[in-house]
Structure 1
Amino acid sequence: MKLFNSDILSNNRMAWIDYARGIAIILVLYRHIFEGISRTGISTTEYAWLENANIVFYSFRMPLFFILSGVFIGRSLAKRTVSKLLFNKFSTLLYPYLLWSVLQISLQICLSRYVNADRSLADYGYIFLFPRRIDQFWYLYALFNVSVLYIFTRQLLKMPIWQQLIAGAVLYILSSYVSIKHIDLGFVYDIMHYYIFFALGDLLSSRILDKENFRHYASWKTFGWMLPFFMVGQYYFLTKDLQMNDNMYVETYQPILFALIALTGCAFMYNISFILQRYNTIKWLRIVGFHSLYIYVSHVLVASATRMVLMKGFGITSVPLLLVICLVMAVIVPIIIYNLAIRAGAWWLYSLDRPAAGKEKLQVQQS
């Protein structure tokens, strides 16, 4: 039995998209798993390099997702009416967010003796208002809200791209202000903070999707001149956050500089993705990228279960070993679960859109 649809690796897909998503989702998993291990009480002080990597990855991984989503909004609107696209966003973003948030909170409450998450019935109320209080799921809610708002302003209010960018920039600066003042706006903050990156994706879409430019994006020359800018940005982000003992310091107090560092990181990751597409190598990363949504919704559950078995069943307390094993399991197991669910007709675990017979169409990729 095949683990996944072989069409994922077909030449009619733009491989760089899957590579970029694969890189981003692995960075997301790294952070969540490392922090989960830290909350168990195991000392991580002797593994400063792991914590440093955790801080560095935080500088660009979420903008990477929002820019990539913005790249395809124009193409999506060209293929669907506004109403159909809104339903698609509800089906593939908000619906799995609601379903898996409720599932994870319920399991954490039932297994409160074994997990390090302190949950209560009040957490169900955070789903709509304060999504960041329920672990990783805030991203799906944020992407849904940003997408819907952008579709509304772009199509119904007819706001041109330059107005979108100005509005996004104003919202972005305001998000820094409310963070400094410790004003918790809940889900509104995420809209304010990431709208600009979504708009930038739309602005750059015509160039990024133009196959005539692919050879430039995939060149080692581009890699060579971007590498020092990437390294300098990451070095500053890391050292400044360590100096201030706050891994959100640059993002909160130096928002313009953070935006430059994040955009440099995103551009560098896209360059790497195009190079991987050029050589058609590390194909497993494409598979991971295609399944990024399905990995995202269930990886915390899988990683937590794996960590409990390793620590309480086998007495493993090595931080690097726990990190590697949990990371591998958090990638592989959700992919297996998703494909088994599709074959069993349980597609509703991930979307309200029934996939076409024999095809995996749930992932919002290249559409």
Structure 2
Amino acid sequence: MNNRNLWVDYGKAIGIVLVVYGHVVRGLLAAGIIEDHIFLHKLVDSVIYSFHMPLFFFLSGLFFWHSMSNRGANGVFLSKIDTVFYPFVLWSILQGCIEALLSNYTNGDVSLAKVFSLLWAPRAQFWFLYALFLIFTLSVLLYRRSAMFLPLLVAGAVIYIFQNRGPNFFVFNFIAQNFVFFAFGVWFNSIRGHIESRAGLVAALSGVAFVVLEYVFHGVLGLRYEDRGALSLVVAMTAILFVVSACMVLARKPLGWVLTLGALSMPIYLMHILAGSGIRVILSKFFGIDSVAVHILAGCVIGLVLPVIAAKILEAMGIKWLYEAPAWMSLDKRRQRRLAVAPRSL
């Protein structure tokens, strides 16, 4: 593993832990195990959602330009069909069908009609993959002609701030709310070396700024993460800088289990709802356990550990089609085969 990228896996690990925690607590609130009037859980939820998904869009943008330079626009686009759009479709259907079959035991009222409306109404955690594919597609078009890193970041920020004045359409909303963070990741490479060389100082300063901004945003102004505008953008950007610089410091003495969580963040993201919801149903319906602490701990541990175990088993068996398009239907692999054969026919 490239040492300079260890902090990226640390960032993914922090992000995926927050994702699992957030979904576990939301599931407990929906099930009535956590009383909905408890302010602390809702406050923590809003703080987490103010930056953890922006962090994933940022991390996705970090290597975009490098991929564009090496693979070209067509190569990047086709690879994202294989590695983003394909698992979005597959897992939306897999998880949706399971939820529909077990709807009597869960919080949801998932129907097969909702499951198969995924192309115009992405549901559950899979909205992220849908939005990410849209942003990759848009970025291929925007960046293919020139490296307009800072202008596109500024444009993304303006669209984010004034998104409420745009059309209320889910495609526009996904792009308006998240493209700026992807563009931040693309642009960040131009200052990456400067941040890495003084990561400790940046982490300390941005950490203090993050705490102050979250206090002002949630405490003084009484806002929530859905209240998007200039201040929420500053909060998210500051939080991303804090997490990234802190990860640069922590990754100097890397822990294997943290790197594993980061490297397997995609399988965890795809499977954690089934794992976390499953343990909640087992504890509450079959064992009558309603302890909030037990549910949160068990939900987070199972939501992280079971997908990791499953991913390791699938890897040992050579099964990759659950996370990316198999070779026989991979558009990117077909393109690579054509490019490999082309010189021989000259």
TM over 0.5: yes
Partner of 1:214: 196
Cα distance in 1, alignment partners of residues 56 and 298 from structure 2: 25
Partner of 2:189: 205
Partner of 1:334: 307
Partner of 1:187: 171
1:307-326 → structure 2 map (5 Å cutoff): 307-326=280-299
Residues 12 and 263, structure 2, Cα contact 8 Å, conserved in 1: yes
1:40-51 → structure 2 map (5 Å cutoff): 40-44=31-35, 48-51=39-42
Partner of 2:341: none
Could you state the TM-score of these two structures normalised by the residue count of structure 1? Answer: 0.83
Cα distance in 1, alignment partners of residues 90 and 227 from structure 2: 34
* 1:154-184 deviation digits (Å, cap 9, x = unpaired): 105x472344234323431342335xxxx64
Count of residues paired in the alignment: 327
More moved, 270-279 vs 299-308: 270-279
Residues 44 and 319, structure 1, Cα contact 8 Å, conserved in 2: no
State the Cα RMSD in Å: 2.1
Partner of 2:130: 141
DSSP-derived class of the 1:206 partner: coil
Q: 1:214 to 1:67 in 2, by over 3 A?
A: same
1:82-101 → structure 2 map (5 Å cutoff): 82-101=73-92
Cα distance in 2, alignment partners of residues 309 and 352 from structure 1: 33
Residues 84 and 129, structure 2, Cα contact 8 Å, conserved in 1: yes
1:55 aligned onto 2:24: no
Gap runs ≥5 in structure 1 = 1-9, 355-367
- CA drift of 1:97 comes to 0.5
* 1:76-130 deviation digits (Å, cap 9, x = unpaired): 1122122221111111111001000011111111111111111113213431112
Q: 1:321 to 1:35 in 2, by over 3 A?
A: same
1:177 aligned onto 2:136: no
Partner of 2:243: 269
Cα distance in 2, alignment partners of residues 154 and 346 from structure 1: 34
Cα distance in 2, alignment partners of residues 45 and 84 from structure 1: 47
Cα distance in 2, alignment partners of residues 233 and 320 from structure 1: 29
Cα distance in 1, alignment partners of residues 150 and 196 from structure 2: 25
Residues 59 and 237, structure 1, Cα contact 8 Å, conserved in 2: no
1:15 aligned onto 2:3: no
Cα distance in 2, alignment partners of residues 159 and 274 from structure 1: 26
Cα distance in 2, alignment partners of residues 250 and 306 from structure 1: 33
Cα distance in 1, alignment partners of residues 315 and 204 from structure 2: 42
Partner of 2:212: 232
Residues 57 and 178, structure 2, Cα contact 8 Å, conserved in 1: yes
Cα distance in 1, alignment partners of residues 164 and 129 from structure 2: 21
Gap runs ≥5 in structure 2 = 328-346
Cα distance in 2, alignment partners of residues 249 and 203 from structure 1: 25
DSSP-derived class of the 2:251 partner: helix
Partner of 1:4: none
Could you state the TM-score of these two structures normalised by the residue count of structure 2? Answer: 0.88
Cα distance in 1, alignment partners of residues 198 and 154 from structure 2: 29
1:267-306 → structure 2 map (5 Å cutoff): 267-280=241-254, 282-306=255-279
* Identity within the alignment, %: 31
Tell me which amino acid in the other structure corresponds to 1:173.
I
Match of 1:32 among 4, 15, 23: 23
Residues 225 and 232, structure 2, Cα contact 8 Å, conserved in 1: no
